[in-house]
Amino acid sequence: MRRALSLLALGITLALTAAQPTMTLTSIKVVDMARTNKDQWRLKGYLDDPDGNITSAIDEVGTTATLQNSNDVVINTVAFDPAGCKLLNKDKGIICKAMGARMSLKRTKRVPKDVMITPHGAHNKTNPNPYYKILGVFRRQEFNVTVSTPLTAAFAIAGVGEFSATNTKCTEKDRKRTSKYLCMTGAPSPGNWTQQTAAGSRNWFSIASSSDGSKLAAVVGGGLIYTSTDSGANWAEQTGAGSRSWVSIASSSDGSKLAAVVLGGAIYTSTDSGVTWEERTAAGSRNWQSIASSADGTKLAAVDEGGLVYTSTDSGATWVDRTASGSRNWVSIASSSNGSKLAAVVEGGFIYTSTDSGVTWTPRATNASRDWFSIASSSDGSKLAAVVIGGSIYTSTDSGVTWGEQTAAGSRNWFSIASSSDGSKLAAVVQGGSIYKSTDSGVTWAEQTIAGSGSWNSIASSSNGSKLAAAENGGYIWTYA
């Protein structure tokens, strides 16, 4: 959706018609539930209508309300038919109803001071149109994409145009299978980095996160596996798999299924969030470097440095060596949520992608051999992000067919990168440097100075990108929320 004016101070973006109606939303609330037709959202705010044609237009042609996420992807759309709309007596506004939804515009003379709309004095005396209080409630909806903040609400009226508001001061709460989002007017919420000392200072090598960011699992090189069920505040030492040269760990979306690999050892899996572990000998003892998991934890993919790519479709019980991948210096692998799309990188080589769960592979970014070190994928596998140690960050929006160098974050010793499920939010760490975040798919980056400079080895992200966890070699685990 195109927007013509940005009110940066309030974090509000508007699309204006010639009549220039101005909308300010004091709040956008969203409840994302993992049940069919149970999602809901609501908005509150104010609308200034200088030309006085909004309510009459809605009465004639209806309106369409749209909820959008951080990268303008539509989360939900509700159409109000004019037959479901009714003008209020004495031109006091309009109320529209649709299945599970209700929207109203009602005249008001009282407008909060922080609402940036046209002063009453700017309205001519022959057409002293009022401000409207706008309220929208949308229940029994079904979101088809992942919710990520900031949030935008928009209205389109045929013959009049469209207007929208983006609220950037957001908070998010996750509980079991429900995620709640509240976005207000004001400056974006900065978020906080917290050093999690409960697990101690260790040689952390890799960290993985559940989709909601509440369950974390991390491995120590030459040590044990540790898990957390409260976003890193507290940790449990998991001795079931023993002390080993762990290098990588992956998690299912709910955090119940884990898979970890040992350098010069075997692959281990857990189905109870890390309490008990089973050694998977079918794949053999190899120089495992990285492992990736599908959302349900049934499809796994692992890479052997100097060897092949291996895949499993039964949560690690059996494995297939993918000879089509070739024997290479594989260092990292990523998977789409259904496990069909894989992407892996070679240190001193190219990027390789597969669209058939690892059966066949295609070399990508073949214009130059680079020291690729880590790769991340969106849930559908269309957006990829990879980092070069001693180089730049590269991104792709077509499942790896074409790649663009993102120079904004500079050339650094990038060690690990993580992605939100929609690929809009990225986070990467520098070995001997800082943590960096992007909210526009890698175009711009913000250095996270609070966590400081460290020997960062790994970073993980929740599905919406609001929660991060970074692991430092010879240091602590840090979390962002």
Query: What is residue 178's predicted lDDT score, i.e. its pLDDT?
Result: 83
Q: What integer best gives the mean pLDDT of the chain?
A: 89
Distance CA 419, CA 439 (A): 10
- Which pLDDT tens digit goes with each residue over 336-354? 999 999 999 999 999 999 9
Query: What is residue 406's predicted lDDT score, i.e. its pLDDT?
Result: 96
Helix or strand (DSSP H, E) at 40: strand 39-48
Query: What is residue 20's predicted lDDT score, i.e. its pLDDT?
Result: 58
Query: What is residue 187's predicted lDDT score, i.e. its pLDDT?
Result: 64
Paired tokens of 40: 């809901």
Query: What is residue 148's predicted lDDT score, i.e. its pLDDT?
Result: 80
pTM: 0.68
Distance CA 432, CA 122 (A): 57
Tell me which amino acid residue 309 is.
Answer: V
Distance CA 317, CA 283 (A): 9
**Residue 11, C-beta contacts closer than 8 angstroms, at least 6 positions apart:** 150, 166, 167, 168, 169, 185, 186, 187, 188
- Which pLDDT tens digit goes with each residue over 32-86? 987 677 899 999 998 888 777 889 999 999 999 999 986 678 999 999 999 999 9
Distance CA 245, CA 225 (A): 10
Domain ranges of the chain: 5-184, 193-480
Architecture per CATH, 193-480: 7 Propeller (2.130)
